[in-house]
Amino acid sequence: MSEMITVNLKIWRQEGPDTKGVFEKYTQKVTTEASFLEMIDLLNEELNNQGLEPISIESDCREGICGTCGVMINGQAHGPRKATTTCQLHMREFSDGDEIVIEPFRAGSFPVIRDLVVDRSPFDQIIESGGYISVNTGAASDANLTPVPKEAADQAFDAAACIGCGACVAACPNSAAQLFTSAKLAHMALLPQGQAERWKRTESMVGTMEEFFGSCTNHGECHEACPKEISLDFIAFMNRDYMKAKVKNRALSGQR
């Protein structure tokens, strides 16, 4: 079923964080069975053969779980296919002669390192400020020692599906990181293991988020862009927890 197509690429080239970037045009012949990154690999091989600088693009697992490969494809984070990362996107989504504009994720706190690679370390800083739980060391406890309701486990798992690719920030007209932060908070706040640091964690992670990112206006673009379809419900959950954390005095935290 494979067929060869020729696509016209318009790709953002930028030598380094301090230089100005420009769009450059390329033409690439590729089979529809190739993945989007394989198409760029082919192009890079050719550029290399011609003695030109290949295009820098991040990729790691190429199976949609590491979150490094995100780029804007025709103005959509991770391209036109829903719930799909750039590496899992295939050229069959495009037809012969299509123009494809490829540019890096854009946000104030996502500076371009080179070409399509952006620095997403503010996400790391959000995680660093509270994304952990405390457990006792020693032998691992029995698997089902801590009862977790099925619904809570499912929800926590849905939140934990976030791969931290940054598509939510890139797609957001406000460059807000609410979807990422709320997913990272929810997968711990929903489980018993995450309760000890719950309120402190919410306060500090939201605090760090607000140092780097914009303010949510509930457009819902992040959810549409998210390759893991993280729900907007988590944003509401975060807002609720944040207010609870700020308003209550937990000196007697056994109190309900």
Partner 1 sequence: MTQTTSERYRVRPIRERRREWPFPFNLYQTAVGRKWVMAVTGIGLLGFVLIHMIGNLHVYEGPAKMHEYAESLRNLGSGIMPRSLILWLLRLGLMVMFALHLHSAITLKEMSRKSSLNATFQGGEKKYEGGREYIAANYASRTMRWTGPIIALFLFYHLADLTWGWWLGDDFVAGDPYHNLYSSLSRIPVAIFYVIANMALAWHIFHGAWSMFQSLGINNPKYNHLRKGFAASFAGLILLGNLSFPIMTQANLIDEDERLCQVDDLEGTDEILACLTKQLEDH
Q: Which of 76, 83, 70 is nearest to 116 (CA)?
A: 70
Whole-number minimum distance, CB 183 to partner 1, in Å? 14
Binding-site size for partner 1 (CB under 8 A) equals 62
Helix axes 150-160, 178-189, angle to 10 degrees: 150
Instruction: Give dist(CA 126, CA 184) in Å, integer.
Output: 9
Q: Which of 48, 47, 75, 78 is nearest to 165 (CA)?
A: 78
**Residue 215 touching partner 1 (CB under 8 A):** yes
Among 95, 146, 243, 250, binds partner 1 (CB under 8 A): 243
Whole-number minimum distance, CB 73 to partner 1, in Å? 7
Among 30, 206, 227, 230, binds partner 1 (CB under 8 A): 206
**Residue 149 touching partner 1 (CB under 8 A):** no
User: Which among 89-97, 139-147, 192-200, 238-246 is the span making contact with partner 1, rule CB under 8 A?
Assistant: 238-246
Those residues whose C-beta lies under 8 Å from the C-beta of residue 101, and which sit 6 or more positions away, are 10, 11, 23, 72, 73, 74, 75
Those residues whose C-beta lies under 8 Å from the C-beta of residue 97, and which sit 6 or more positions away, are 5, 6, 7, 8
**Residue 175 touching partner 1 (CB under 8 A):** yes
Instruction: Give dist(CA 225, CA 154) in Å, integer.
Output: 22
User: Which among 28-36, 47-55, 86-94, 237-245 is the span making contact with partner 1, rule CB under 8 A?
Assistant: 237-245
- From the DSSP assignment, how many helices (H) and strands (E) are in the chain? 8, 7
**Residue 161 touching partner 1 (CB under 8 A):** no
Q: Which residue has the tokens 């799909």?
A: 84
Whole-number minimum distance, CB 138 to partner 1, in Å? 31
**Residue 152 touching partner 1 (CB under 8 A):** no
**Residue 186 touching partner 1 (CB under 8 A):** no
**239 and 174 in contact (C-beta within 8 Å)?**
no
**Residue 76 touching partner 1 (CB under 8 A):** yes
**Residue 31 touching partner 1 (CB under 8 A):** no
Q: Closer to partner 1 by CB, 2 or 246: give it.
A: 246
Instruction: Give dist(CA 92, CA 80) in Å, integer.
Output: 11
Q: Closer to partner 1 by CB, 35 or 231: give it.
A: 231
Instruction: Give dist(CA 187, CA 191) in Å, integer.
Output: 7
Q: For residue 235, what are its two tokens?
A: 């944003």
Give residues in contact with partner 1 (CB under 8 A).
10, 12, 17, 23, 72-76, 101-103, 106-113, 119-125, 172-176, 206-207, 210-221, 223-225, 232-233, 235-243, 246-247
